[in-house]
Amino acid sequence: MPAYRPLKIASSEITPQQHYLRRREFLGAASLGAMALYGVSKASAAALSVIDSRYTVGEKVTPLKDVTTYNNFYEFGLDKGDPARLSGDFKPLPWTVKVDGMVNKPGTFDVEALMKEFPIESRTYRMRCVEAWSMVIPWDGFPLASLLNKVEPLGSAKYVAFETVVRPDQMPGQKGIFQSLDWPYVEGLRLDEARHPLTLLAVGLYGETLQNQNGAPIRLVVPWKYGFKGIKSIVRITLTDKEPKNTWQVTNPQEYGFYANVNPEVDHPRWSQATERRIGESGFFGASRHPTLPFNGYADEVASLYSGMDLRKSF
């Protein structure tokens, strides 16, 4: 079994886990504080560095079972069920992330130390895959900005590049005939996007450490962009002055680009992006359909980052 244990903030001793998970599922979308959700007193929550970021969406949270069994993580296979089925040998701990490039204080940081250093925030975000399915996920993590501030980017740094681990022995999709992409999986953000308060390094979801299939032990979450920007199992973060390539853009430049902001008005060459299938909700024909929102519903927070850009071409 992969390492899978409650985050320090989960307080499973206080609230039986099933009860806690069900409360999260039903109440996660309501404007209740993390204190109430975690079922701990304000005093002990403060000691455990829990912050209620009050990032919620007015929609039902996707059940944990769907979040952990319907995944894209090509290092473990191409089918949605492969990452959960085939990631049992992956060892997410111990783990370090190297942060280098155009910074004053480069370093290699232990993930568990970072989890203690930065307050863990509970934030429920929409997640919209470019394949036109979506979820609502209660993440636990800290802003990427906190880590970037620690290493002090140089004034000349303009972008941030990310890299996933390469471990063919533990990741069957990186081996032999099962190779699908060029490894490592890579991603990138503009520095201002990386520093935006919504941009999260997730270390857990539903109050539990990330399972392997969700990108253990640390992955990126950029809620206004298509899901492929949310690179998993990160081992390296590099500050640079050149726009970084990302894996999907390199694999298929006709269909994928650097920005990948969610935009219902710009169709994928092979399908409409106007609506999305909400995983875990049933409608007349399988999952229920929701309208896709500009910037995935985060336009008020992020549209100003792109003023002056032609949004139809910003894919």
Ligand X SMILES: Nc1nc2c(c(=O)[nH]1)N[C@H]1C(S)=C(S)[C@@H](COP(=O)(O)O)O[C@H]1N2
CB of 72 or CB of 238, closer to ligand X: 72
Residue 101 binding target from Mo ion, ligand X, none, CB below 5 to 8 Å by type = none
For the CB of residue 71, give the shortest distance to ligand X in the complex, in Å: 3
Report the candidate in 116, 162, 163, 164 with the shortest Cα–Cα distance to residue 142.
Answer: 116
Which residue among 55, 90, 95, 228 contacts ligand X (CB under 6 A)?
Answer: 228
Residue 217 found at the interface with ligand X (CB under 6 A): no
Residue 129 found at the interface with Mo ion (CB under 5 A): yes
CB of 52 or CB of 276, closer to ligand X: 276
Rounded CA separation 315/310 (Å): 10
CB of 102 or CB of 200, closer to Mo ion: 200
Residue 126 found at the interface with ligand X (CB under 6 A): no
State the binding site for Mo-molybdopterin: 71, 74-75, 129, 164, 214, 219, 230-232
Residue 232 binding target from Mo ion, ligand X, none, CB below 5 to 8 Å by type = ligand X
State the binding site: 71, 74-75, 129, 164, 214, 219, 230-232
Question: How distant, in Å, are the alpha carbons of 97, 217, 281 from that of 242?
Answer: 21, 27, 41
Residue 162 found at the interface with ligand X (CB under 6 A): no
Q: Which stretch binds Mo ion (CB under 5 A): 32-40, 121-129, 144-152, 194-202?
A: 121-129
Residue 230 found at the interface with Mo ion (CB under 5 A): no
Residues of the shown chain interacting with ligand X in the complex, contacts defined by CB under 6 A: 71-75, 129, 164, 185, 214-215, 227-228, 230-232
Residues of the shown chain interacting with Mo ion in the complex, contacts defined by CB under 5 A: 72, 129, 227-228
